[in-house]
Amino acid sequence: MMNGSKTECLKILVPGKFLMNTFVPNSAVMEIKDFVIIRKGKEDSIRRFHPWVFSGALFKKSFDDSSPRWVKVLDPSNRFLALGYYADSSIAVRIVSFEDVIPDARFWASKFDSALAARQAIGFLNNSDSNAFRLINGEGDGVPGLIADVYADTVVFQFHHAFLFEIREDVIAGFNLCKPLAGKRIVVRNTFDKSISASSEENKEPVIIAENGIRFSVDPFEGQKTGFFLDQRDNRSLLEHYAADKIVLNTFCYTGGFSLYALRGKARRVVSVDISGYAIKQLEENIKLNAMSGLNHEAVCADVIPYLNEVGTDFDLIVLDPPAFAKSLNKRHNAIQAYKRLNKAAMDVIKPGGLIFTFSCSQVVTRELFERTIYSAAIDAGRKVRVLHRLTQSPDHPTSVFHTEGEYLKGLVLQLE
């Protein structure tokens, strides 16, 4: 990899291609010439370090076309406010620096160094019990549009901004200047062309990770998101605390995170339900990987709500961890109704005294709105409900105090009479 001023070829495994790129630190990015000027009165949020500039806040652009690019953000008096990447969308600029810098490989290296130091401070580095963690969490680490997850000897980059994907060579060159992480297998996932698959000619093997001592097989190429949901680490541990001697239903189970913690927590029986046959197959592999095949576990490939409507009332603990029902504001109402139906269905079948771990990962659904929806479901179910815990994402998924929208994962532990 890269060390000091030496440059070597870096292999990037990109879905659909295998590329060889030569990355030269501090050489690819010239001084930024393009700029946008903010309308008077709209610059306050930027001065308060919010990382988004909405299109309605723009007064003037130095360019006529709509292609993504680096831009400087200027106040109405043409003074520098921030540096970011522009896109022709409702969020026009995503800010990566409030200082006037050149965003070359060393700039990106500083981002990775800062993020890694934060993870090291909370115990996510050199931890044999847990060797997987999120390294870059978008705005929470000052890099809007980028996710980077470390899975043992593999790091998966997921790009959620078209321009950031265009300049991925500079980003990854910066990563390779971060010496504690150099030498890892790099997988790049492009969210803008989901039909592309990984090359069959190169190493596509899953990676085995450890999370709090439980082993999981993670597929960075075919799995959802980057291959695993690291944000639920602490919530899985909490469920293990409650699992002893309980009959547990894990819905939307994916590859079985909550299920394996429940089994280790000495649950009497665990039922895992997911509509994806691929997920069920991965779950069963993880059961074997942890020598849990002899435990009382049943995997069911089914649609969750019809399953809940047909199942009996045997369960002491139910996990509701659905995919994001809404990814945009115009779909939020339908999402709220879906959350309400799902939670009512679980409340209808949970035993008296039972627990429900319920979650929303929809960023457009606020915590307040999610909790109101759960309360409405309880009213419709005619059940008295206590809130035992309010849950969020694990600390390697930080949010910025200036960007509260980054708290996407909301959860409650409910106890029903």
Superfamily covering domain 35-97: PUA domain (2.30.130.10)
As a whole number, mean pLDDT of residues 237-256 equals 97
As a whole number, mean pLDDT of residues 283-287 equals 97
pLDDT single digits (tens) 25-67: 444 456 899 999 999 999 999 999 999 999 999 999 999 989 9
Q: Which residue is catalytic, options 178, 253, 301, 361?
A: 361
Average pLDDT, the chain: 89
- Strands 269-274 and 297-301 come out as parallel
Whether the CB-CB separation of 317 and 250 falls below 8 Å is answered with no
**Alpha-carbon dihedral angle through residues 52, 55, 61, 64, given to the nearest 10 degrees:** 120
**Alpha-carbon dihedral angle through residues 384, 407, 340, 327, given to the nearest 10 degrees:** 180
361 is catalytic: yes
pLDDT at 200: 37
- Is the pLDDT assigned to residue 9 strictly greater than 70? no
- Is the pLDDT assigned to residue 248 strictly greater than 70? yes
pLDDT at 18: 32
- All CATH 3.30.750.80 domain ranges of the chain, comma separated, are 9-27+104-208
Whether the CB-CB separation of 11 and 20 falls below 8 Å is answered with yes
As a whole number, mean pLDDT of residues 351-379 equals 95
Whether the CB-CB separation of 23 and 57 falls below 8 Å is answered with no
Higher pLDDT, residue 152 or 8: 152
- All CATH 3.40.50.150 domain ranges of the chain, comma separated, are 229-416
Fold designation for 9-27+104-208: Transcription Regulator spoIIAA (3.30.750)
- Is the pLDDT assigned to residue 402 strictly greater than 70? yes
pLDDT at 190: 81
- Is the pLDDT assigned to residue 23 strictly greater than 50? no
As a whole number, mean pLDDT of residues 364-382 equals 95
Percent of the chain topping pLDDT 90? 77
The tokens of 109 are what?
């290296």
- Is the pLDDT assigned to residue 193 strictly greater than 70? no
d(Cα 142, Cα 151) in Å, to the nearest integer? 21
pLDDT single digits (tens) 104-157: 999 999 999 999 999 999 999 888 899 999 999 999 999 999 999 999 999 999
pLDDT at 14: 38
Q: If pLDDT is split at 50, 70 and 90, which confidence band does 12 have?
A: very low
pLDDT at 183: 83
Q: pTM (2 decimals)?
A: 0.89
pLDDT at 393: 96
- Is the pLDDT assigned to residue 181 strictly greater than 90? no
As a whole number, mean pLDDT of residues 310-330 equals 86
- All CATH 2.30.130.10 domain ranges of the chain, comma separated, are 35-97
Burial-class residue 300 by CB neighbours within 10 Å (0-12, 13-18, 19+).
middle
d(Cα 379, Cα 356) in Å, to the nearest integer? 15
Domain covering 229-416: architecture = 3-Layer(aba) Sandwich (3.40)
Picking from 165, 169, 135, the residue whose alpha carbon sits closest to that of residue 152 is 135
pLDDT at 29: 55
